[in-house]
Amino acid sequence: MNRPNRWGEFWAGVRAEIPILFGVLPFGMIYGALALEAGMSALLSQSLSWIVFAGSAQIVITQLVAYGVPNLVIILTVAVVNLRHVLYSASMAPYLRKLGVAWKLILAYLLTDEAYVVAITDYERHEKNARDKGVAGQELEQAQEYRHYFLLGAGLALWATWQLSTAAGLFLGAVIPESWSLDFALPLTFIALATPLLKDRASLISAVVAGFAALAAFNMPHKLGLVAAAMVGILVGVMVERHS
C-alpha cells in the first residue's frame, strides 16, 4: 500500500467532489433566487450560505421568511431539517478520532451532505481494500495518516461552489421574471432529493404519511405544520419498521 501525502489526499478529495458540484451549482442558484424572492436582502442571503451552509435548510428558510413566521419557528424548523447531521457526525467520528480539536472544529463545519457522502465512501472503500490485502497495525495507521485532508478537499470544493452559486443566483434571480415560475424549483429540488431515499417500505410509508399530514396541518399557525407533519411521518416510519 503506497504511503499517501497531505496534498495528494486533498486533491483526491476535490476531484471526488467534482461530479457532485454539477448538481450543487443549480441548487445554489435556486437558493439565491428564492432568497431574493422571499424578500431577504442580498447580504443576508449570501451570508446564510456560510452561516448555515446547508442547502435544503436554507431553501426552507426562504419559504418561512416569505410567510413571515416567527423567528423561533425558523430555528425549530432548521433544527429538525438538519437533524440528520448528527448521523453524519456519528459515522465520521471514528475516522477523525485521532485529530486535534482544531481539525475537528474545521472538518465539522464542512460536514455537509455532499462532502460527507464522498468522504465516507472513500474511507469505507480504503478500509475494505486494506482488510482484503491483510494490511493492519502500524502499516494501516500510516496509510490512513492524512485521510482527513481528503474530507478537507471535498468540503472546501463544495464550500467554494456553494458561495459562488449563491452569488450567481442572487444576480440571476433579480432579472428573471415571475412568469417563469422559478419558485417551482423548490418542490422540484426536494423531489430530486427525496425520491431516491424511498428504497424500502418503511421510508415510503413514512414519506406518504408525512405528506398527507402536511396537507391536514397546512393551516397550523406559523407554518408549524411542516415540523408536526415530519414528526408524524417519522413516528409512523419507526412503527412500520418495528412491525415488519
Residue numbers 32-51 binding other proteins by CB under 8 A:
44, 47-48, 51
Among 57, 119, 154, 170, binds other proteins (CB under 8 A): 57
| DSSP designation for 223 | G
Q: Are 180 and 199 in contact (CB under 8 A)?
A: no
**3-state DSSP call for residue 236?**
helix
Q: Give the position of cell 476531484.
A: 15
167 binds other proteins (CB under 8 A): no
Q: Are 61 and 74 in contact (CB under 8 A)?
A: yes
Site for other proteins in 60-119 (CB under 8 A): 60-61, 63, 65, 71-72, 74-75, 78-90, 92-94, 96-97, 101, 104-105, 107-109, 111
18 binds other proteins (CB under 8 A): no
First to last CA, the chain: 44
225 binds other proteins (CB under 8 A): yes
Q: Give the position of cell 406559523.
A: 222
Identify which of residues 134 and 221 has a Cβ nearer to other proteins in the complex: 221
Ranges of H-type helices in 176-200: 185-194
5 binds other proteins (CB under 8 A): no
Among 37, 229, 243, 244, binds other proteins (CB under 8 A): 229
